[in-house]
Amino acid sequence: MANTRRDVLDAARALLNRTSLGDLSMRRLATDLGVRPNALYWHFPNKQTLLAALGDDILAVIGTPDSSLTWDDQLTSLATSLREALLSVTDSAELVSSSWASGLSQMTVADQIRGVALIGGLDADDAQAVTTAVCQLTIGLTIEEQTRIQMERLGVAEPSGRDFAGEFDAALRVVVDGARHRASTAVGAH
């Protein structure tokens, strides 16, 4: 019963890495922690809130990009860090998508990307559009990649031979080109 919020998040992450998002239940998590399910609700009022906190925790590893980089390289750096953070925990792209849908996530990485787009001289609407494009490309492709990883882990599919990292880098360059175009046509472009 001496579990902290941190203990619960760590156990949830470990459970996810051993199983899948579909197996992450409050009951199973309580068993792993050796407590009754009620004890979890002390920290998280419901499963949605726990999932949102876990998603935010998984992405908390994404640091501020090196400010000596140009803004567009900072954009690429943030997107690449987002993908790496998602890939570090089983099924977390689907988890993050769901927690963004719930409105319970802090969505800090979206703020970071928007901030870099604003540094690039984009207006607020364009910065938001670039943020949506970068985040959804990254989350969308990583959901597909993590689904494939689970299929291979379960033995229902052979290794695909796909180069997901290469697919991601190439598609991200298209989005960053689009962002650069917006910056070049922005009022007061610098």
Number of residues that bind its own copies (CB under 8 A): 47
Residue numbers 148-187 binding its own copies by CB under 8 A: 148, 151, 156-157, 160, 167-168, 170-182
Phi-psi region of 89 (alpha: psi -120 to 50; beta: other; left: phi over 0): beta
Measured from the CB atom, the residue of 81 and 142 that comes closer to its own copies is 142
C-alpha span between 71 and 182 (Å, rounded): 13
Question: In the complex with its own copies, which residue's Cβ is closer, 29 or 179?
Answer: 179
DSSP state of 36: -
Q: Evaluate whether 120 touches 72 at the Cβ level (below 8 Å).
A: yes
Chain-centroid distance of CA 47 in Å reads 18
Contact positions with its own copies (CB under 8 A) in 81-140: 94, 97-98, 100-103, 125-126, 128-130, 132-133, 135-140
Quote the CA–CA distance of 31 and 176 in Å, as a whole number: 45
Query: Which residues are near its own copies by CB under 8 A?
Result: 22, 48, 94, 97-98, 100-103, 125-126, 128-130, 132-133, 135-141, 143-145, 147-148, 151, 156-157, 160, 167-168, 170-182
